Structure 1
């Protein structure tokens, strides 16, 4: 029983950092798509909620501790984020979060550009549910077509 809970917890916690971890662990533990997708979506959304509610405090304390030099604000990467934000807004950031950004990164970007919390949560939920189940299905049934994951695939 404890090992089963630890497996669920590893999928959940891994998905908080990178959404692809959940489906890969779900296949490794031989869980079905529903369990894997659900735990993956919940993990991603936990990151989004934590960053949205506590992001300003985390940034304030981490900068005080690290006392880093001020970096150049406009880099190639930040310009790309601004272009995505200007063109697509919160829905675009939410849709691209699982594939381009980590859940933490997507939440930081959406909050940094001033997205409304209600919009961030709504679109991130839609995105996390879509991508979690899609990636769980993809890894389960087409894992052998993704050689960089080192999976044997299938059903």
Structure 2
């Protein structure tokens, strides 16, 4: 039981920072789809909760930590603004697990002034969708004999 708990907590900790770690490592650890979804979503949502409440403070005080002033409109910020104008909160939330990190997506939404309740709900829906999608995809990919032999 303690080995399972250590594995679960290790994957949970990695999901705080990188969403894809949950489905990949959960599958490697032999977790079922339900366990993969729980560990991945709980890791991401912990980051979202922490940074939606700390995000405003982080955004205000980040300038004190940086030595040089960043470019105002880099290619990355232009792409984020383009997604924001085209798809709004749901676009950013949808791309967060795939392109951004849970922390990055939350800080972006916080910087746009979105209410915490909306951030939490949209990120929860997005993380559930992607955790189930990635969990099922990895299970189906491992049913291919060639890939199954590589994985094991």
Return the TM-score normalized by structure 2: 0.88
The offset of 1:61, in angstroms, is 4.8
Residue 112 of structure 2 corresponds to 113
Which consecutive unaligned segments of at least 5 residues does structure 1 have? none
RMSD: 2.1
Aligned residues: 149
Return the offset for 1:56.
Answer: 2.5
Specify the alignment match of 1:23 in structure 2: 23
Partner of 1:48: 48
Q: Deviations over 1:101-142 (max 9, x none)?
A: 111111111111111211111111100111011111111221
Hey, what's the Cα distance between the residues in 1 that align with 2:82 and 2:90? 13
The answer to whether the 8 Å contact 1:11/1:36 transfers is no
Q: Which residue of structure 1 lines up, in the alignment, with residue 97 of structure 2?
A: 98
CA distance in structure 1 between the aligned counterparts of 2:79 and 2:71, rounded to whole angstroms:
15
In the TM superposition, what is the alpha-carbon distance from 1:143 to its structure 2 partner? 4.3
CA deviations on 1:47-94 (whole Å, 9 max, x unpaired) are: 111110012333445543x34211111111101111111111111111
Aligned to 1:13: 13
What is the 5 A alignment of 1:60-79? 60-64=60-64, 66-79=65-78
Change (3 A) 1:95 1:67: closer
Query: What stretches of structure 2 of length at least 5 have no aligned partner?
Result: none
Which SS does the other structure have where 2:98 is aligned? helix
Cα separation, 2, equivalents of 1:151 and 1:135: 19
- Cα gap change, 1:105 to 1:3, in 2 (>3 Å): same
TM (norm. structure 1) is 0.87
Q: Residues 115, 151 of structure 1: CA spacing in aligned structure 2 closer, same or farther, 3 A cutoff?
A: farther
Counterpart contact for 1:143–1:151, Cα < 8 Å: no
